[in-house]
Amino acid sequence: MRLAILTGGGDCPGLNAVIRAVVRHSVKNYGSEVVGFLEGWRGPMDNMVMPLSLRSTESIINRGGTILRTSRTNPFNTEGGPERIMANMSSNGLDGLIAVGGEDTCGVANRMHKEHGLNVVCIPKTIDNDLSATDFTFGFDTAV
């Protein structure tokens, strides 16, 4: 299986830890290959891909921010944005996407799944702690 991960919205502590955990778990437990899309939803829309490996992610846990960078890009506000995402997922041979973000990022993920059939999982991250179906999100404790 070949997976991608992106980080959307604002920075908060823990993003690199999530990226590292996704890569470690996917590679060690499933033999999957993982790539990162840079700058939130802009990455899959503009095909901005970064290979991720056990080696490239082993020491990122001590770095602030996100090695994938982030943005508040919403592909539904760009003509043909969702279609470009689906085309780039296909051209990169990707089976699914892990989106790490808050209300906007997860909202786009949900819409991409419902309207375009994207295989996507959202990891909730927000300092606002305003996502339904979660008691706490990482990022919230650091803002309190």
* Rounded-to-10 torsion of CA 74, 72, 64, 12: -100
Catalytic residue among 128, 130, 135, 141, which?
A: 128
CA–CA separation, 13 and 92 (whole Å): 29
Q: Which of 22, 94, 118, 102 is nearest to 110 (CA)?
A: 118
CA–CA separation, 115 and 72 (whole Å): 20
Active site residue 128: yes
Nearest-5° angle of CA 35, CA 37, CA 43? 150
Residues with a catalytic annotation lie at 128
